Structure formats: C-alpha cells, structure tokens
Amino acid sequence: MSETIRISIDGKVVDATPGNSILHTRLEGDTPLTANIGCMGQGVCGSCRCLVRKAGERSAQTRLACETTVEDGMQVSFIDYYLPDHVHHYRPHDLRDGWQALPQLQQTFPELSHCRHCSGCDRACPRHIPVQQGMALAASGQLQAAAALFDACIMCNLCTLACPENIRPNHVGLYLRRAQAIQNLRPGDLLRRLEQQARGELAINTRSDTPRSEA
C-alpha cells in the first residue's frame, strides 16, 4: 500500500494519498458527496469552496478543493452558500443603453457605494482577482475596466460571503460583463460572413456529409 497522510475534512479525520486534491480525497470517502461539487475538478464552477488551515498555522485560507493538494495535518471545512434575502433583478434589455449604464448600475446595486475597503473580498478570492479595486472602478464609473477585472471570476461567491456590506461583488462583475457583451459590436469577420450570405456569395451546405444507407 502507498504511504498515506491524515487530514481533517468537516471534523472527520480521513486518510489521504499525497498528491491528491482535497476534492479527490473527499470523493474517496465513505460518505456520499451531494453538495460542494460541480465541474469535477476543472476549476471553473466554484462549487467546492472551502476553508483550509495547514498544520502549524493559525489562520485559515479560502480555497477551491479541486485545486488544493492535501498536506499532512491539514484541516478542511467546506463552505455552503445560501441565497441572500435580497436578490438583484434586472433584464438584459435594460443593459442596452450605454449612456444609462452607471445610473442603472447604481440603481441595481445601491450598496456598491458602501464599500468599507476592508480587503476581505481580495483575501477570499481563490483567483486572486483585485475585487476591491473592481468595486472602486465600478463605483467611479469606469465600468469597462471593472468588467475586465472579473474575466477570471468563476462565481464561487466567496467575496460575497466575506463582504460585511452584502455588496455581492462577483454579481456586480457579472452584471458589468453582461452589459459589455450586450453593448459591444459583434466580431467583424462574422458580420462580413453574414453580408456575403445575404448577397448569395456564401453557399450554405445543409446536407449531411455522412452517406445514408438505403433501405
């Protein structure tokens, strides 16, 4: 048998194989995992958010279990996410007018101006996004710059859980990314292809290349 180490997951001590991720170790356990799992280790869904405290360290760090390698004596607690009472509602149609982008953002997320600059969101982000800077840019009207900072966001909601003002920074970032996508022009090569198609210069083959067997 290969050498194993011992870690604690949600208060239960388990054996783990060195080099495995926390999520892999949790999946190998005898208790079915029905939450905190999504993309199965691709690091794109943010579902496996957890608190990790390494042996000998006093502070715990927020991590994604699928990307964090187990270490002997590590303590892990998975973090559930509960939908807050206040949900920000908006329609894609409302994001089309770029001249109204800032007042619409302020109306949709009125708590954005309440940021305490505590840096809790920055410390919580497993993607190392400068979340606090993004909120400052958004509040000052630099919406494109703010949206660009959230390109790497996987919506794990850890920044939201860390925010004492309930700003929900990742949802602000998603709002801005959606607004930017709606207001931007479509790719030029696609527009030219559509024009060629409309003029009849681009033939569209609707037949399947796979030969059909005759009855």
Q: Encode pLDDT of 77-86 as tens digits.
A: 999 887 777 7
pLDDT in tens, 2-42: 689 999 999 999 999 999 999 999 988 777 777 777 787 77
Calculate the CA 63 to chain-centre distance.
Answer: 13
- 37-to-42, 57, 66 alpha-carbon distances in Å: 11, 27, 9
Please return the burial class of 188, using the count of CB atoms within 10 Å of its CB with bins 0-12, 13-18 and 19+. exposed
The two structure tokens encoding residue 157: 């909601």
**Per-residue pLDDT for 209 more than 70?**
no
**Residue 76, SS3 per DSSP:** strand
